[in-house]
Structure 1
Amino acid sequence: MKDSDIHHWLTLLLQDDPEAFRVVYEKTADHIYRTVYYLATNKSEVNDIVSEIYISMLHALPKYDHNRPFRAWLNGLIINQVNHWNRKGWQRLRLFTRNKQLQITPNWKKPDEIAIEAEQKNNILQLVNGLSAKLREVIVLRYYQDCSFEEIASTLEIPLGTAKSRHHEAIKKLRNRTVNSQFFKEAFHHVD
């Protein structure tokens, strides 16, 4: 989703063009759904959160600064809305379920390779799931959304140094948990 592709449609959307909403929805839906799914703690509420994001977008659109990257602005809306829902006491994040639904496995892999890969991903996602919301947000934005530290800082409305330190802290915790994880101890034991 490039800013140049969507700015025209955002302008038309402000003028109540019904076609514009359809186009903006088509250009943003996948990004919004996937990001919400990874950040939301209650997966059954993803559709409700996404609906709220589109309502927020329509209300906030007149204030959107076209000089600011649209993706960063949209990620800010997503983060704010997900945090709003998470504050209501939802369950802990379960990334594995979404990853399993999104996983596309090449046909040439053997079943045992697929099983091992799925188990590894499950263990990694469980480790990410164990991070605090602040650290998890940085990891999802950095590695799932491929955001730069500047984009992460802008999206989360935190200083650049804070984004980097949260990333460093998250990686450090993941590394420590990986070393201490029973799965990884067994995996390295079998390699010897």
Structure 2
Amino acid sequence: MKNIDWSPWLIRMSQGDEEAFRTVYEETREHAYRLICYLSSSKEDAADIMSEVYIELLKSADKYRPEQPFTAWFNGLIVRQVRNWKRKSWRLYRIVEKVKLLADVSPDRKAEAELSAVGDQLELLPILRKLPLKAREIIVLRYYQDCSMEEIAALLEIPLGTVKSRHHYALKQLRRQFEEVQG
């Protein structure tokens, strides 16, 4: 990776300049890919993690401070995304195990766990998009960001009871839509 002043590029990127993003991507992609391959346990995941790295780079370009070395800052971003990916994989494993354990539990809890597992495995994005925004927020924060119900209530500045009712409603809607897709 070239030793250049990245600040102007990152500022332009944070302002939506696509050319700046392309330049930063072209100059950093080999470095990022190598580091991801070293850190991740699966080479098959490298391309997906790489996408996550550049999405996060777009989101956090405005947080870069010129007094810090770009390479160190960028490496930190890569390491965090690899960790997030591993955590997501581990969460999928735990959810699948939970589904197995909940086989004899109430239908609501079992359905919730099954939906979580299916969501991570089959990408529920098209089905999620059909949910109203308030319900979608709860599902994304709960299952994709690993937030507790209390954290969601604080984050959205709504009562815990409202979070729980929206969660219940969203799961019911997802179940119904998933069953329609399964046909």
Q: TM tier, shorter chain?
A: 0.3 to 0.5
Higher RCO (CA < 8 A, seq sep 6+): 1
TM-score, length-scaled by structure 1: 0.44
TM-score by length of 2: 0.46
- Larger gyration radius, structure 1 or structure 2: 2
